[in-house]
Amino acid sequence: MAAVTFDSLKFANRLKAAGIPPAQAEAEAEALSDALEDKFALISEQQRQLAELTQELRKLEAASKHDLEAQALRSDNAYIRLEAKVDKGFAEVNGKLSLHNWMLGVIVVGIVALILKSFF
């Protein structure tokens, strides 16, 4: 923000020209100058604090983003491990089903052989 200057001499001269006694005009100009300086100092301090808060917020945002990315990566890894376990389980079940199919085939062939033997 650009610095704003207050010309207290010009202000006091305007008051004098408007009929205010010189001592009162100078006192009012000085009081207004002090009040404006305090106001501008307060605004400057608020802007500084806002800049600090903005910077801190950006740091927190970056840290949060980093944490979320790390958590997503961990979730992806957990998903991959779970998927591998499921695939392994399916492979085991598939192997057992193949064995059961062979065993059922042998039993059916045996039963058919016994039936055919009893007739011939």
pLDDT digits (tens, 9 = 90+) for 63-94: 998 888 888 888 888 888 888 888 898 888 88
Residue-range domain boundaries for the chain? 8-86
pTM metric for this prediction: 0.48
- DSSP-derived 3-state class of residue 65: helix
Q: How far apart are CA 1 and CA 98, in angstroms?
A: 80
Provide the pLDDT for residue 4: 65
Provide the pLDDT for residue 18: 92
- DSSP-derived 3-state class of residue 6: coil
- HSE (side-chain half, CA atoms, 13 Å) at 72: 6
- When pLDDT is averaged across residues 90-117 and rounded to a whole number, the result is 87
19 conformational bin, left if phi > 0, alpha if psi -120 to 50, beta if neither: left
With beta carbons less than 8 A apart as the criterion, state whether 10 and 24 touch. no
